[in-house]
Amino acid sequence: MSDQQQQAELYARRILQGFHKHYEVFQEVTAGASERFTQGDWLGGQQAASERISLYDQRVSETTKLLRELTNENWQPELWQQTRQIYHAYLAFHPQAELAETFYNSVFCNLFHRRYFNNAYIFVESTLSDSIPVPLETEFRSYFPVVQGMRRTLQRVIADIDFGTPFVDLEGDIRLLRQAFKAQAIETDLASYQMRIDVMRAPFYRNKAAYVVGRIVTSTATYPFIVPVLRADQGGIYLDALITQADAMAVIFGFARSYFMVQTRAPSALVRFLKSLMPKKTLAELYSAIGLHKQSKTEFYRDFLHHLQQSDDQLVAAAGVKGMVMTVFTLPSFPYVFKVIKDRFGPGKHIDRDTVIERYRLVKRHDRAGRMADTLEYVNVAIPLNRVSADLLEELQATVADSLRIEGDTLVIKQLFVERRMIPLNLFLEYASEQETRNAIIDYGYALKEMIAANIFPGDMLLKNFGVTRHQRVVFYDYDEVQYLTDMNFREIPVADNSVDQLSAEPWYAIAPNDVFPEQLATFALPKQPWRDILLSEHPELIQAEFWRQQQKNIRNGVVTDVFPYSSSMQFKRNV
């Protein structure tokens, strides 16, 4: 064996060892979700979810430092081509091969210049297509009602999951679940010998619930389902609902929610199973949903590159009111927006670039409560210059020149944030029907309430900073003014001493930096009186300072509000 081959093997082994350490720690944190759920340790769950997000960067930094010491940062092209080949061979039967590829990419990209970011040295394209895929069956169990009947099969499904704590009334829950299957027409016309039930081995934990995910398979169709499991106040657990509607399942796995905690030995198999249940979800979205956000970034970027190859439209400025902090653009044929921090902010924005970055990362780490869009952050993104419209390039050069450089026929953006494209709420309301308008404004109120219950104060609550998803949910997406709710000071507007003060265009009272006056919310956020009337008819407490102060008290007292990603109408009706 040559010295170069020995070096290549050493580098490949060290990087793979770094990945194994990362995934072991990631799984340890994830495994704790079961105990936190059974103990009702909701604050501990939030802390673990936040800490888990930073684990990847810690391990990449450790491994990068080790490789720098081994290589003395000496660039040897043939050596690194060989390192990649050896690493590729290590992954042929690796259960987390796609994650290990991404980890390798992260370490290499920390070590060397962007000019080497191609398939000769990193995994721009995944090599999994050359390997034998991990069987889906590693991630789920199959049950056959023809053997024991439906009732005993469902009992077995729940028993095999083993939540580690007793049910309050399992027999009653199984009866309700069976009735729900019949009511939703899944079991009505099927005999027990006409179906198979596949259920994920591990439950999906998030916030105050666990979710059993599975499908009923027949000779002609597949029926996905999700069963939320909740903890009773007095201890013990119970089945809360049966969810089979595609839209409702998509919302549970939506991009505005915190990542699930779910143990998996073979993430690719788990994600492929989820993809079979929710085919409209991308691989990037599904990896993100289970907490593998770095793999989500990899899958998204591959999707973007493939889309560029298969389309010919150009990037253009995004629709909506231009922001004072971000320049936002989009590719019309691709359902995402790209955001770059401006070189100079608009008047009234007393923050700097680092503060904006930290607030976007704060939201990434925080419980997003189903109301804040997930964001992918990239550095040194290369985009073909011919895919950038002339008008957009002019705007970029005028507003974000410090974040740009042109290398030949490529535009490189130093730092980029990516979010799902939504219809800005202010634009949606301009053409919405009367009922759509009412629904959106009411949901805007719920979005505010659910964010503040999660200790997030959105800051700028103007409609332009919220979007409407394809499921007609209102979601917040502009984070430069985000702060913790508990850091704010909610006040009533003082009574004016005289009519001159009352009619003055300027406040007659002192205002500190974190002072907020909720009674101004409807007036400033909703420009039309009919819209204000709708909001205040459904959410009058939003303009009461005491309501906001009470939410702060709840948070400081450790109260975690129930915010579940499915309608209360789906919950089982129990005889009390």
- Give yes or no for a contact between 493 and 511, defined as CB atoms under 8 angstroms apart: no
Structure token digits, residue 141? 């169990």
**Distances from the Cα of 538 to the Cα of 236, 267, 454, 495, 529, angstroms:** 35, 43, 20, 26, 14
Whether residue 321 is annotated as binding a ligand: the answer is yes
**Angle, CA of 480, 367 and 414, to the nearest 5°:** 40
Of the candidates 363, 199, 228, 263, the residue with the CA atom closest to the CA atom of residue 33: 263
Of the candidates 336, 318, 316, the residue with the CA atom closest to the CA atom of residue 328: 318
Catalytic residue among 173, 240, 374, 478: 374
At 270, the amino acid letter reads L
Spatial CB neighbours of 28, under 8 Å, sequence gap ≥ 6: none
Whether residue 281 is annotated as binding a ligand: the answer is no
Tokens 């490189």 sit at which residue?
412
Separation between Cα atoms, residue 509 and residue 506, nearest integer Å:
9
Whether residue 261 is annotated as binding a ligand: the answer is no
**What are the start-end ranges of the E strands in 24-117?**
none
Phi, psi of 404 (to 5 degrees): -120, 155
Whether residue 320 is annotated as binding a ligand: the answer is yes
Phi, psi of 406 (to 5 degrees): -110, 125
- Give yes or no for a contact between 369 and 451, defined as CB atoms under 8 angstroms apart: yes
Whether residue 318 is annotated as binding a ligand: the answer is yes
CB atoms within 10 A of CB 527: 12
What pairing do the DSSP bridges indicate for beta strands 515-516 and 489-490? Answer: parallel
Structure token digits, residue 396? 């970029």
Q: Is 367 a catalytic residue?
A: no
Phi, psi of 139 (to 5 degrees): -110, -5
What pairing do the DSSP bridges indicate for beta strands 456-457 and 483-484? Answer: antiparallel
DSSP 119: T
Of the candidates 169, 23, 180, the residue with the CA atom closest to the CA atom of residue 95: 23
Separation between Cα atoms, residue 71 and residue 42, nearest integer Å:
45
Of the candidates 466, 250, 318, the residue with the CA atom closest to the CA atom of residue 327: 318
Whether residue 342 is annotated as binding a ligand: the answer is no
Handedness of CA 306, 312, 314, 320 (dihedral sign): negative
Rg of the chain over Cα atoms, rounded to whole angstroms, equals 26
Whether residue 322 is annotated as binding a ligand: the answer is yes
Instruction: Report the binding-site residues for ATP.
Output: 318-324, 339
Instruction: Report the binding-site residues.
Output: 318-324, 339
Residues forming the active site = 374
